Amino acid sequence: MAKTEIRMTGSGGQGVIMGTIIIAEAAYADGKQVVQCQAYGPEARGGSSKAETIVSDKRITYTKVIKPDLLLALTQVSLNKYVDCLKNKAIVVVDEDIVVPEEVEAIHTVYHLPILKGAEEVIKNKMSANIISVGVVNELLHVASQKSVEEAVLNHVPKGTEEVNLKALHYGAQLVQEAHK
Amino acid sequence: MPSKLIEKTMRVNRLPHIWCPGCGHGILMRDVAQAIENCGLDPDKVVIVSGIGCSSRAAGYMNYNTLHTTHGRAIAFATGVKLANPELNVIVITGDGDATAIGGNHLIHACRRNIDLTVIVFNNNIYGMTGGQYSPTTPHGEKGTTAPYGNIDYNFDIPQLAQAAGATFTGRCTAYHAQQAIKLIEAGIKHHGFSLIEGLSVCPTYYGRKNKKGDSVKMLSWQKDNAVDVKAAAKMTPEQLEGKILIGELSRVDNKEEYTDMYMKIIEKVGGDK
Amino acid sequence: MAKRFQLLQGNEACVEGAIAAGMRFYAGYPITPSTEIAERSALRLPQVGGKFIQMEDEIGGIAAALGASVAGLKAMTATSGPGFSLKQENIGYAAIAEIPIVIVDVQREGPSTGLPTSPSQGDLMQSKWGTHGDHPVIVISPSSVQECYTECVRAFNMAERFRVPVIFLMDEIIGHLREGCELIPPEELTISNRRIDRNFNGTLAYAVQEGNYVPEYAPFGEGDKFNVTGLFHDLDGFPTNDNNITDSQERRLLDKIRMRRDRIEKWEEFDCDDCETMIICFGGTARAVHGAIEDAKEMDFVKLGMFRPITVWPFPEEALLKIIKDNKHLRQIIVAEHNDGQMLLEVQRVVEGRVPVDFLGKIDGTTITPSEVIEKVKEVY
C-alpha cells in the first residue's frame, strides 16, 4: 500500500494518542512499516492533543505527517486548528456536533459521526471514544487486519474492559458502514 | 610507630594527614576505625564514601574501599553503592557544609528512605578547606570570614534534622569523648537502617581563632565541660541543661523496614532473582 | 520471552538496549521528555535482577549511578536539558575517576525550562564541553528507534571499554517516536565488559597494564581495596599535586579517546560519493533530510547526499574529509540541525573552506521538514 498518513486530534484525555498507537501497532503486526508520534502541551487533561500514525509498505523516513489522508477531530477547536492542512481529497471525520466549513465539505469527504455520544450512550463508557475512532479509521482506510486491530486494542485497554472496548471498536466500523449505506 | 589499630586500619604510607595541628578530625577518624574493628567487619566489605571538605579527606587515609566524591554528593553516591550491593557496609564521612548545606537534600532523602548507611558528620562549625566561612552549623552570632559582622543565620541541629526526616538512628558524640564516640558509632553501624551521627570536632585554625575560642586544648575542654550524656540529661532540670549539648544515642526506631531489603523483595516478587 | 519485533518508543527502546547491554542499575529524576526511560527502567530492571531508584534530584541521580558503577554494576541515568546541566559536575568526576556510565540526554528546546515538550538539538556542544576542564567524552546520537536500541548497546560498550562517561544524545523527535524495533538478544550482540583485575590489591589501581589502554578495574567489595577520587591522582589512586603526574594523567585520559578514534567513530553516508549538495545532520534531523532526499529523487532535482555522524563526538572528521576529497561533483554542504549552528562550527572547522558550507537551523520548537531542506538547497545552489 502507498504511504497513508493519519492524524487524530482532540482534547487531552480523550485518548487520541492511544488511538494512533493501536492503529500503528496493528499495522506493524501485519508486517507494515509504521511510525507514530504525537505533539502535546503541558496539560495532561484538556488542551489540544494531536497524534499521528503513518503506515506504508516502504521504509518511512520523515516521521511527521505532512498532509494527512485522514483527519479525525473530536473537538471543534482541534478541527479548526488542523483542517487547513489536508491532502487533496482527504477524509475528514468529525464528531457529529462539530461544524465543518462548507469549502472543506466541498473538496473532501466528510463524515459526521456520533463518536462521543456513541461512547456515552451505546457503549456506556465515555473513555471508549478513542477506540470507536480506531474502528472508524480502520474501516475507512483498512491499514490493518481486523484481527491485529483487535489484538492491539486488547494490549492497551485496562483489564476488565476488554469486552466493552471490542464492542466500541466494532461500533466504530458500524458507524462507517451505516454512513456508506 | 603507629599503633596496632592505625597499622591495621589506615594506609600508613598516606600519613601524616593534611589536617591542622589540633584539629579534631583525626580523633574522630580513629574512632570510626575502632568502631569498624569492634563490629568485626570484613575490611574488604567496608566502603567509606566521602564528599569534599576537610572531613572528607578521611576516606583516603582509611584502608577500606574508599570513594572520595564531589561536594555534597557523598550520600547519593553511597546510596548507589549500597543498593548495587547491599552486602557492603557503607559508611559516609562528611562535614557540616558537605552534609547539610550543599548536600542537605541528599541527607534528608536518605533519612526518609531508611537505607542502611551510617553517616558520620564531622562537624567543625565552619568551612575549613576554603578558609573559614560560616556554615549551617556556625552558631548564630558567631563569626566567619563571610560573616565578619556576626552570623545572622540560625544553625541546624543535625541529629534533630535527621530524625525529623526519618532517620531511624541518630546520635551525637564529640572528639573529646572518644570512648563514648566509638560505642555510638559502633551502634550506628550495627543499626540496620539509616544512622546519622554528628561528631563534634574542633577547628582551632579557623572557627576557634575567628571566635576567640582558644587553642585546641581549650576547645576540647569546652566539649568536656559542656557535653552531657543523654541518659544523665534525663535526670537534669532545664536550668541545669542550659547551654549544654546532648551526646549519646538520641533517637532510635527499630521497626521500620530497610530500603534495600524492600527492594530485594520486589526483585524476588517479579522474578528477577532467578 | 519478549517478542523480538515490537513497536516501541525511542525512550523505551533505549532502556531495552541498555538492559541487553547489561545495565543493572538506573538512578534518575523525572523530566520531560525523558521520563519514559525512568518509567520503563523502574518496570524492567527488577525483572532482570537489576535496581532502579528515583533520586531526590538530578545530581543525586548521576551520583547514585556512579556509586553503583563503582560497586560493579553497569549503570545509566537519563535526563533532559535542565537536568543535563545539573549533572555536569559529576560527568567530570566520572571522566577523571574513570567510572563507566551512560548518561542519556533527550534534548528539548532551551535554554532554561524552555519548551519542555518540543524537540531541539541545542545540547550538542554542551555534551562535549558541559563539564569544566579538559576531559574525554564520547557522544552517540541515534536517529531511529532501532538505533536507540543498538546504539545504546554501543554506548555501554564504549563506557565499559574506555572507562569513560558516554553521553547518549537523543532528541524529542526520536525519544517520543514509536516505530518498529528488533530487540536483538544479548547473545547476538557484541557486549563489552570492563576488564577486571582482582590482583592489584589497591597498590596501583590506576596503572595501565601492558597491552591495554585503560586501567583494569575491580569492583568494591571483592578484595582490592583502593581509592577513587576526583582529585588528580597518581597511579595508586591517591591525590597528588605533582605537576608532572597531573600532566601525564590528563594526557592519558584525553589520549585514550583521541588515539582510538577509529574504534569509536561511526557515521552514515547516503549518496555521498556523487551528490552535488551534501547535507550534514545528526539525530532526529536525519529523518527530514532523508525525506528530502527521497522527494528530490522524484522531482528530478539536485543530487542530494547525507552525511550523518552517529558518534557525534569525537566528530568523524577524517571520513568527512575523504568524501570532500573523493566526490568531484560536490559543490555545497548544508548543515541542518535544530539549534543555532553548533555542528556547523565543527563542520566549518574541518572543511576549512574547501567547499562552501551553509546552514539550515530551527530553534522554534518545531521540526525541520523535508520541504524546508529542499527550499534551502534551492536557495544556496
Chains A and B, touching by 3 or more CB pairs within 8 angstroms: no
In single-letter form, the type of residue at position C170 comes to M
Report phi then psi at C296, rounded to 5. -60, -40
User: Are C221 and B272 in contact (CB < 8 Å)?
Assistant: no
Task: Tell me which fold the domain A4-180 belongs to.
Answer: Pyruvate-ferredoxin Oxidoreductase; domain 3 (3.40.920)
User: Are C178 and A35 in contact (CB < 8 Å)?
Assistant: yes
pLDDT at C196: 80
User: Are C64 and B77 in contact (CB < 8 Å)?
Assistant: yes
User: Are A42 and C290 in contact (CB < 8 Å)?
Assistant: no
- Average pLDDT on A106-133 reads 96
Domain extents in chain A: 4-180
For residues C22-41, one letter each, b for 16 or more C-beta atoms within 10 angstroms of the residue's C-beta and e for the rest, the string is bbbbbbbbbbbbbbbbbbbb
Cβ neighbours, 10 Å, residue C86: 18
- Average pLDDT on A121-142 reads 97
How distant, in Å, are the alpha carbons of A64, A98, A109, C117 from that of A20?
A: 13, 21, 21, 19
CB < 8 Å to B67, chain C: 67, 70, 220, 227-228
Establish whether this prediction's ipTM goes over 0.95: yes
Has residue C162 been placed in a domain? yes
Please check the confidence at residue A93 and state whether its pLDDT lies above 70.
yes
Task: Tell me the three cell numbers of residue B244.
Answer: 549544654
C138: domain CATH number? 3.40.50.970
Do C182 and C286 fall within a single domain?
A: no
Task: Tell me the three cell numbers of residue C327.
Answer: 566526490
| DSSP β-bridge partners for residue B122 | B95, B199
pLDDT bin (cut points 50, 70, 90) of residue A135 is: very high
CATH architecture group of domain B4-269: 3-Layer(aba) Sandwich (3.40)
| CA of C51 vs chain A CAs: smallest distance (Å) | 26
In which domain, by residue range, is C331 found?
Answer: 268-380
C293: domain CATH number? 3.40.50.920
Tell which of A37, A58, A143 to mutate to test the C interface (max C CBs under 10 Å): A37
Integer Rg of chain A from CA: 15
- Average pLDDT on A136-160 reads 97
Do C33 and C154 fall within a single domain?
A: yes
CB < 8 Å to C367, chain A: 64
Please report how the helices C58-70 and B104-113 are oriented relative to each other, as an axis angle in degrees rounded to 10.
70
- Average pLDDT on C1-5 reads 84
- Average pLDDT on C344-364 reads 97
For A4-159, where are the alpha helices, taking DSSP H only? Answer: 16-29, 76-82, 102-107, 115-117, 129-141, 146-156
Do C28 and C160 fall within a single domain?
A: yes
pLDDT at C203: 67
Please check the confidence at residue C212 and state whether its pLDDT lies above 90.
no
pLDDT at B190: 98
Of C25, C64, C75, the CB nearest to B76: C64
Domain extents in chain B: 4-269
Do C125 and C21 fall within a single domain?
A: yes
Q: How far apart are CA C19 and CA C8, in angstroms?
A: 15
CB < 8 Å to B77, chain C: 63-64, 66-67, 70
pLDDT bin (cut points 50, 70, 90) of residue A45 is: confident
HEC string of chain B?
A: CCCHHHHHHECHHHCCCCCCCCCCHHHHHHHHHHHHHHHCCCHHHEEEEECCCCHHHHHHHECCEEEECCCCCHHHHHHHHHHHCCCCEEEEEEEHHHHHCCCHHHHHHHHHHCCCEEEEEEECCCECCCCCECCCCCCCCCCECCECCCCCCCCCCHHHHHHHHCCCEEEEEECCCHHHHHHHHHHHHHCCCCEEEEEECCCHHHHHHHCCCCCHHHHHHHHHHHEEEHHHHCCCCHHHHCCCEEEEEEEECCCCCCHHHHHHHHHHHCCCCC
Q: What total of structural domains would you count in chain C? A: 2
| CA of C366 vs chain A CAs: smallest distance (Å) | 10
pLDDT > 90: percent of chain C: 92
User: Are C288 and A21 in contact (CB < 8 Å)?
Assistant: no
Instruction: With CA atoms as reference, report the closest residue to C6 among C145, C104, C143.
Output: C145
Sequential pLDDT tens for chain B (274 residues): 679 999 999 999 999 999 999 999 999 999 999 999 999 999 999 999 999 999 999 999 999 999 999 999 999 999 999 999 999 999 999 999 999 999 999 999 999 999 999 999 999 999 999 999 999 999 999 999 999 999 999 999 999 999 999 999 999 999 999 999 999 999 999 999 999 999 999 999 999 999 999 999 999 999 999 999 999 999 999 999 999 999 999 999 999 999 999 999 999 999 998 7
pLDDT bin (cut points 50, 70, 90) of residue C202 is: low
- Against chain C, the chains showing at least 3 CB pairs within 8 Å are A, B
Has residue C197 been placed in a domain? no
pLDDT bin (cut points 50, 70, 90) of residue C201 is: low
Q: How far apart are CA B95 and CA C360, in angstroms?
A: 51
Has residue C212 been placed in a domain? no
Instruction: With CA atoms as reference, report the closest residue to C306 among C281, C274, C276.
Output: C281
Residue in chain B lying closest to C91 (CA): B70
The terminus-to-terminus CA distance of chain B in angstroms comes to 51
Say which range, A89-98, C200-209, C268-277, C319-328, has the weakest mean pLDDT: C200-209
pLDDT at C213: 86
Mind listing the pLDDT tens digit for each residue in B153-203? 999 999 999 999 999 999 999 999 999 999 999 999 999 999 999 999 999
Cβ neighbours, 10 Å, residue C114: 18
